[in-house]
Amino acid sequence: MKPIYFLLFCLISYSGFTQSYFQETPEYLPIANRGMLTGITATISYQGYDESQAYFGQGEYEIFADNVNGILDKPIIVLDGFDPGDSRDITGLYNSLGFGGQNIADILRDEGFDIVILNAPQYTTNGKAIDGGADYIQRNAMVLVEMINFINANKVGNEELVVLGPSMGGLIGRYALSYMEQNSLDPETRLYISFDSPHRGANIPVSLQYLINYLADQIGDADAQAIVDNVLNSPAAKEMLFDHLLGHLLAGSTYEQDPSQLLPIGAPGFRDAFQSELNALGFPLQVRNVSMINGSGNATTTGIPNAQVIDTTLDLGAGITADVNLHFTPEAGLSNNVTDFQSFFVGVPVGSFSADAESFGYTDGIDSSPGGISSISSALGDGGGNPIILAFIAALEQDDYSFIPTISSLAIDNEDDWYAVPDIGGTHNSPFVNTFIPSENEEHVKVTQANAQFALDEIRNGVLGVQNNNLDNKYLLAQNPVSEEIRIRLNASYNYNQTELVVYNVAGQQLLSEVIENPIGEITLPISLSSGVYMIQLSDSATTQNIKFVVE
């Protein structure tokens, strides 16, 4: 058996493999008026769950001054997300804000805002090598605390900060801001934007995890081992992944499944501990918290539960073949086979692996749930020239999967069905006072014309204190963007009498108006508007509130 495995290893190993990634690689465009790349080290250390001592995190940042006065006086901090191997540098982070030939950062710099991009690089501290883009979220948060303190100490004037956190960066931003508030450290921050961040966990199909781990552990494939070590078993992945293969292993085995552990479970000692810590911290209270996500708001799925991901025979050469069959996790309350791998030498079986999965009775499997999308091919680095992996990717029947479920990115804490339609302010609780939710699933942290407008509007709206946040909650847009109707949630803590609704376009022209007498619960206003950005003004005897919305 060993000679066969050695031959199999020699055939499928290939040095050209590239790094895994979980969001589309942006086009690298030149950036005008750049600053200097500078390192920064946290002054608050962090000791991870599996570490014997605490370490001080490190980062690197670049300040892109505005194009109006060139003075650091209106800072916006943009954070790095999950990025094993630091494949996305500061130039990549800046360009990842691009959409339709424009860039959020360019637009804001032309309006007098300063962009500060904080990257999580690879570094060595006190003898320990750390991959910042896949390191503990808490340690990266302590680097952000240092960054916030530095910017506040060096900015001109009293303008409060904006923190934009894409993907894992949203968790880093949430943790840092909440930590500062709870430890009497004033973050001087007015706005926190969470961008498709996994507040209740992320997902990589467990079927793929099993396969990669088997190829690494039993076949000795170097590419698979790199994914296991640098991606799946990184501290960040073990903190974020809702379902992790380490929770399913048979005691004493590094690859075999425990048949009694089929339900989703996180990495032991990491996932539950981190989520409990995050829940205890909550969200910053002195900051306006908003969220824009890439998952569908109307329960549109990515594939279906139990979908066949791949069923193929790979020709590895020299008489060796491998049959590979993967599935998404199953429907609620059911179990299925998610991973099956059989290898043959001139038709004679020489190795096999199989793993099953079961879904909770209250929700279908997470793989096909509404959410920000990533792909199996990107998790495999698009093959990197490895002919076997390229053949595997070509045979995929279901490449896309739900990476950040909608329920998770909205931080809805009273819903366990990944497929539920979000009903914030009604059935569901969310800490966000404003949200952007598309009707269709989009690529994870993809910037679009619509969500870019949402972010720009929030940033431009200026300082909003806690008392203003409460006022803004009197009328809450149930979903944004909209299509055929506008639904306005009413805050049960207020009394409503006569309410006037007026819709304007961006030129200030009044398009329609309606008066509602003594509304209760929710106001629904039918509309027939072309795609674009609009504003609805809601007025009653006590207040007037303006809400911008997007029509798809």
* Cα radius of gyration (the chain): 24
Asked if the 38-197 domain carries CATH number 3.40.50.2300, the reply is no
Q: 233: which 2 tokens?
A: 């078993």
Q: What's the rounded Cα separation, in Å, for the pair 241 and 231? A: 11
Share of the chain above pLDDT 90, in %: 77
Flag whether pLDDT at 470 surpasses 50. Answer: no
Q: Which comes out higher in pLDDT, residue 499 or 27?
A: 499
Cβ atoms of 77 and 187 within 8 Å: the answer is no
Q: What is the pLDDT of residues 496-505, one digit of tens each?
A: 889 999 998 8
Does the pLDDT value for residue 540 go beyond 90?
no
Which pLDDT tens digit goes with each residue over 81-100? Answer: 999 999 999 999 999 999 99
Q: Is 381 exposed, middle or buried (0-12, 13-18, 19+ CB in 10 A)?
A: buried
d(CA 194, CA 164): 6
Model confidence, pTM: 0.85
Domain boundaries, the chain: 38-197, 206-272+299-460, 475-551
Reported confidence tier of residue 18, pLDDT bands at 50, 70, 90: low
Question: Counting every residue, how long is the chain?
Answer: 552
Q: Which of 348, 351, 354, 397 is nearest to 377 (CA)?
A: 397
Q: b/e per residue, 136-152, with b = 16+ CB within 10 A?
A: bbbbbbbbbbbbbbebb
- Comparing C-alpha atoms, which of 520, 549, 515, 513 is closest to residue 534? 549
CB 31 within 8 A of CB 73: no
- Dist. CA 223–CA 307, nearest whole Å: 26
Q: Is 382 left (phi over 0), alpha (psi -120 to 50) or beta?
A: left
200, pLDDT greater than 80: yes
CA count, 13 A, side-chain hemisphere, 353 = 25
Q: What is the CATH number of domain 475-551?
A: 2.60.40.1930
Q: Which of 120, 114, 176 is nearest to 149 (CA)?
A: 176
Instruction: Reply yes or no on whether the pLDDT at 537 is more than 90.
Output: no
User: Strands 114-119 and 75-79: what pairing?
Assistant: parallel
**Least confident span in 47-56, 216-225, 474-483:** 474-483
Q: How far is it, in rounded angstroms, from Cα 531 to Cα 411?
A: 28
